[in-house]
Amino acid sequence: MVNKVFLIGRLGKDPVVKHFDNGGAIAEFTVATDDSYRDKQGNKVEQTDWHNVKIPTPKLAEVAEKYLKKGSLVHIEGKIKTRSYDDKDGNKRYITEVVCESFKMLDSKKESAGGGGNYSSSSTSSSNQETPATTSAADDDLPF
């Protein structure tokens, strides 16, 4: 069984990062993805879906806080989780979110100061982490 999600979309708002006393951090934001189809009359219908994204890895959350901004084009890789909670009136509520394991910023370097970086929970702990300042010149040859 596999629980794997790949999203390419734009951030709906700047990431909100919560820092904890124990050194932990969590980033949360929304990503919009677009889809289109033709209805019975042949008209093109465009639909936007909004996805709640959570980054539970402290170092990856800090990278997101530093480089991701509202409107950033990102490729998110993670898994879907659904959790429940009780609201203030005692009603059970459910939330489905993408727990991000890695992300790649797809904006061009001209549009975003941090464009082109590829970040994952494993690479953020490595001393060889790729940063926007060290992305290769080959990134400029990409069609997007």
Task: Output the pTM of the full model.
Answer: 0.73
pLDDT at site 67: 94
Measured CA to CA, the distance from residue 94 to residue 82 in angstroms comes to 7
Q: Which of 11, 14, 17 is nearest to 60 (CA)?
A: 17
The string of pLDDT tens digits covering residues 20-31 is 999 899 999 999
Domains of the chain and any CATH numbers? 5-135 (2.40.50.140)
Two tokens, residue 2: 């596999």
Measured CA to CA, the distance from residue 8 to residue 10 in angstroms comes to 7
Task: Provide the terminal-to-terminal Cα distance of the chain, rounded to the nearest Å.
Answer: 33
Written as tens digits, the pLDDT of the chain (144 aa) is: 999 999 999 999 999 999 999 989 999 999 999 999 999 999 999 999 999 999 999 999 999 999 999 999 999 999 999 999 999 999 999 999 999 999 999 986 544 444 456 777 665 443 334 434 333 334 444 343
